[in-house]
Amino acid sequence: MPTFEVLGMYFDISKTEANDTFHYWLGIFRDILPASMLEQVDSQENDYEIVKELLEEYELIVDSLEQAIERPEDNEEQKKHYSGKKKQHTLKSQIITIPPMKDIVDVVIGEPGPTSDISMFREQQEKFSSAQKFKGDKGYVGGENITTPKKKPRNKELTEAEKASNKIISGERIFVEHMIRVMRIFRIASERFRLNRDTYKNVILVICGLVRLRIGSLVLPDLS
C-alpha cells in the first residue's frame, strides 16, 4: 500500500494533491456504490420494509472479520483496540450475506477489536424483522433466531450426530467466508491499515460496494 508521497511521484503530483484526490474519489464512490442491500433502500421506507419481508425467505449468514491497525498512541485507545485473539490492535467488522454469495445484506464496520461477535450481532439484528433467521459460527451461540454449531461440553465429547450437524452448518456458512475473501482481495482491506483511522469506515464501505458491483448484485444507473 503506497504512501501518498509515492503515489504523488507515480503521477507527478504533490503528496497533498495525491491525498486530496484519494479522498475526493472516496466520497464519490460512497455516493454511487451502496455498501449493502439495506443501505441501498435506507432512504426509501416502503422499499426498506419490502426488502425486510423478502429477506425472511432466506436464512442469512453472518460472520465477523478483524483487521490490524497502527498501534494507537493514546494508552486508553491502545487498551480499547487491543485484541487478545489476534495479539494486536484491530478493528472488527461484521457482514451479513444472502447465500450463495447473492448479495451483501448489511455491514457493521470498524468496531474496536475486542468487541464480541454476539454483541455486534444483537445490535445489527434490530434492523431486521423479528422473524428473520440467521446462521453463524460458535461466536454467536446464545443469540436469538440464529443457528450455530454445538459447542463441545466441558469434559465431554460431541455425539456423532452433533458432529455431523456441525459439519453441515459449516458447509452452509462457507458462502460468507467466500464473500470476505473477495473483500480481502483489496489489499487495503487485508493488510495493516495505515491510513487515518477516521477514514477506515468509508474505505471498507467503498470496498463492499465494489464487491457488490463485481458479483453483479449492484447495477450502476445509466447516466448517459
Over the stretch 212-222, which tens digit does the pLDDT of each residue have?
A: 999 999 877 66
* Percent of the chain whose pLDDT exceeds 70: 98
Give just the sign of the alpha carbon dihedral 163, 164, 166, 167: positive
* Beta partners for residue 176, in sequence order: none
Q: What is the pLDDT of residue 1?
A: 62
Instruction: Say how many domains are in the chain.
Output: 2
- The answer to whether 92 and 120 have CB atoms below 8 angstroms apart is yes
- Structural domain boundaries enclosing 97: 35-215
Q: Is residue 90 part of a domain?
A: yes
Question: pTM for this structure?
Answer: 0.89
In a domain, 164, yes or no: yes
Please give the Cα distance from 19 to 22 (Å, whole number).
Answer: 5
- The answer to whether position 221 is within a domain reads no
Identify whether 125 is part of a domain: yes
Looking at the structure, tell me whether residues 25 and 42 fall in a common domain. Answer: no
For residues 78 and 185, membership in a common domain is answered with yes
pLDDT at 152: 86
Cell of 210: 465494489
Indicate whether 109 and 157 sit together in one domain: yes
Cα gap 117→140, rounded to integer Å: 6
Q: Tell me, yes or no, whether 98 and 3 share the same domain.
A: no
Cell 485484541, located at residue:
83
Residue range 7-42, pLDDT digits in tens: 899 899 999 999 999 999 999 999 999 999 999 999
Same domain, 26 and 120: no
224 in a structural domain:
no
Q: State the pLDDT at residue 223.
A: 56
Q: How far apart, in whole angstroms, are the C-alpha atoms of residue 57 and residue 105?
A: 13
